[in-house]
Amino acid sequence: MARDVAVIGVGMTKFGEFWDRGYRSLITEAGSKAIIDARIDGKDIDAVYVGSMSPGRLIGQEHVGALVADYAGLVGVPAARVEAACSSGGLALHQAYLAIKSGLYDIVVVGGVEKMTDVSTEHATVALAGAADQEWEAFHGITFPGLYALMARRHMMDYGTTEEQISLISVKNHANGKLNPYAQYQYDVTLEDVMKSSMVADPLRLMHCSPITDGAATVVLASGEKAKKVCENPIWIKGSALATDTLSLHGRKSITKVEASAMAGKKAYQMAKVKPSKIDFAEVHDCFAIAEILAIESLGFCKIGKGGEMVENGETWIDSRIPINTSGGLKAKGHPVGATGIAQAIEATWQLRGQADKRQVKGAKTGLTQNVGGSGATCTVHIFSEEK
Amino acid sequence: MTTVGIVSYGAYIPRYRIRVGEIARVWNDDGEKVSRGLGVYEKSVPAMDEDTVTISVEAARTALENAGINPQDIGAVYVGSESHPYAVKPSATIVAEAIYATPDLTAADLEFACKAGTAGIQMCMGLVKAGYIKYGLAIGADTSQGKPGDALEYTASAGGAAYIIGRDKLIAEIKDTYSFTTDTPDFWRREGQEYPEHGQRFTGEPAYFRHVVSASKKIMERNKLKPEDFDHVVFHQPNGKFPKIAAKKLGFSDDQLNTGLLTPLIGNTYSGSSPLGLAAVLDEAKANQLILLTSYGSGAGSDSFIIKTTKGIEKRKNVRPVRQLVNRKEYIDYAIYAKFKGKIKGVALER
pLDDT at B201: 83
Among A18-22, A172-176, B254-258, B343-347, the least confident range: B343-347
Task: List CB contacts (< 8 A) between B201 and chain A.
Answer: 17, 117
Q: Which of B162, B153, B156 is nearest to B143 (CA)?
A: B156
User: Could you state, in order of their start, the residue ranges of all structural domains in chain A?
Assistant: 5-120+213-235, 131-210+238-382
Question: Does one domain contain both B177 and B156?
Answer: no
Rounded mean pLDDT of chain B? 96
Question: Does one domain contain both B210 and B326?
Answer: no
Q: Which of A47, A260, A294 is nearest to A152 (CA)?
A: A294
Question: Does one domain contain both B166 and B18?
Answer: yes
Q: Is residue B348 part of a domain?
A: no
Q: pLDDT tier at A2 (50, 70, 90 boundaries)?
A: confident
Q: Which of B182, B176, B178, B175 is nearest to B211 (CA)?
A: B182
Summarised one tens digit per residue, pLDDT across range A77-87 is 999 999 999 99
Question: Does one domain contain both B108 and B210?
Answer: no
Question: Does one domain contain both B183 and B306?
Answer: yes
Question: Does one domain contain both B30 and B114?
Answer: yes
The topology (CATH level 3) of A131-210+238-382 is Peroxisomal Thiolase; Chain A, domain 1 (3.40.47)
- ipTM score of complex: 0.73
Whether residue A8 is predicted with pLDDT greater than 50 in this model: the reply is yes
Q: Does the beta-carbon distance from A20 to B33 stay under 8 Å?
A: no
Question: Does one domain contain both B290 and B324?
Answer: no
Q: Is residue B276 part of a domain?
A: yes
pLDDT at B95: 98
Among A317-326, B89-98, B201-210, the least confident range: B201-210
Residue A295: partners with Cβ closer than 8 Å, 6 or more residues away: A258, A261, A282, A284, A285, A286, A324, A370, A372
Q: Does the beta-carbon distance from A19 to B206 stay under 8 Å?
A: yes
Mean pLDDT in residue range B2-22 = 97
Q: Is residue B229 part of a domain?
A: yes
Question: Does one domain contain both B148 and B235?
Answer: no
Instruction: Mutate one of A17, A18, A19 to test the B interface: name it (highest B CB count within 10 A).
Output: A19
Which DSSP helix (H) or strand (E) runs through B178?
strand B172-184
Whether residue A19 is predicted with pLDDT greater than 70 in this model: the reply is yes
Domains A5-120+213-235 and A131-210+238-382 share a fold: yes
Report d(CA A300, CA A309) in Å as an integer. 14
Report d(CA B282, CA A316) in Å as an integer. 60
User: What amino acid occupies position B167?
Assistant: R
Q: Is residue B351 part of a domain?
A: no
Whether residue A74 is predicted with pLDDT greater than 70 in this model: the reply is yes
Question: Does one domain contain both B224 and B163?
Answer: no
Report d(CA B153, CA B167) in Å as an integer. 40
Q: Are B276 and B322 in contact (CB under 8 A)?
A: yes
pLDDT at A164: 98
Spell out where B14-89 has E strands: 16-19, 42-45, 74-80
Summarised one tens digit per residue, pLDDT across range A340-384 is 999 999 999 999 999 999 999 999 999 999 999 999 999 999 999
Q: Which of A174, A167, A168 is nearest to A203 (CA)?
A: A167
Summarised one tens digit per residue, pLDDT across range B144-187 is 999 999 999 999 999 999 999 999 999 999 999 999 999 999 99
A190 shares contact with chain B (CB less than 8 Å): no
Report d(CA B10, CA B43) in Å as an integer. 20
Task: List CB contacts (< 8 A) between A206 and chain B.
Answer: none
Q: pLDDT tier at B349 (50, 70, 90 boundaries)?
A: low
Q: How many domains does chain B have?
A: 2
Question: Does one domain contain both B180 and B166?
Answer: no
Q: What CATH number is associated with residue B37? A: 3.40.47.10
Indicate the pTM of the whole model: 0.86
Rounded mean pLDDT of chain A? 97
Summarised one tens digit per residue, pLDDT across range B278-307 is 999 999 999 999 999 999 999 999 999 999
Mean pLDDT in residue range A90-105 = 98
Report d(CA B126, CA B134) in Å as an integer. 11
Q: Is residue B227 part of a domain?
A: yes
Which residues form the domain of B227? 173-313
Q: Is residue B350 part of a domain?
A: no
Question: Does one domain contain both B263 and B287?
Answer: yes
Q: Does the beta-carbon distance from A20 to B206 stay under 8 Å?
A: yes
Q: Does the beta-carbon distance from B200 to A120 stay under 8 Å?
A: yes
**Looking at the domain that runs over A5-120+213-235, which CATH code has it been given?**
3.40.47.10
Q: Which of A224, A231, A265 is nearest to A97 (CA)?
A: A224
Question: Does one domain contain both B333 and B289?
Answer: no
Task: Tell me the shortest Cα–Cα distance from A117 to chain B, in angstroms.
Answer: 9
